Amino acid sequence: MSQYGLLIDYEYCTGCHSCEVSCKNEKKLAHGVYGIKLSEIGPFEITPGNWEWNYIPSPTKLCDLCADRIEKGEKPACVLHCLGLAMDYGPVEELAKKMAAKGKKMVMFVP
C-alpha cells in the first residue's frame, strides 16, 4: 500500500489560513493547537522588483490526513477549503510526479 501525503504549491498559497482553521474545525482542536500551521517567509527583495514572499502550511502530528473524510469519499478539509487551490492529497508517487511536472515552488509533506 502506498504512503499518502499533502502537496503544497507555495507559488499560489496566498496565506489565507483556511487550511489552519478548517483543520481546527474538523479535528475540534483547542485554541493554540494545530493540525496544520502556516508559516511566512519574507517579504524581502532579492534584486530590485524581484521579491520573495511565501506562505507554507506545515502539518503537525495531529494530522491523520483526514482519514474519516477520505473514508467517506471526501477531500481532506484543508485541501477542500484552500482558497489558492494550492493543496493536493494523494499517494506520494503521484504527488511527486506533480511536483516534478510543475518544477518550482512545490513541497510535499508526509505527516
Q: How far is the CB of 44 from another protein (least distance, A)?
A: 7
Convert residues 61-90 into a mask of x (bound to ligand SF4 by CB under 6 A) and - (unbound): --xxxx---------xxx---xxx-xx---
| Among 4, 15, 70, 108, interactor with another protein by CB under 8 A | 15
Phi/psi region, residue 52 (left: phi>0; alpha: psi -120 to 50; beta: rest), is: beta
CA distance 88 to 109: 10
Q: Does 11 bind another protein (CB under 8 A)?
A: yes
Name the segment binding another protein (CB under 8 A); options: 17-25, 56-64, 90-98. 17-25
- According to DSSP, residue 76 is labeled P
Comparing CB distances to ligand SF4, the nearer of 33 and 83 is: 83
For residue 90, the cross-strand partners are: 5
Q: Contact at 8 Å (CB) between 92 and 3?
A: yes
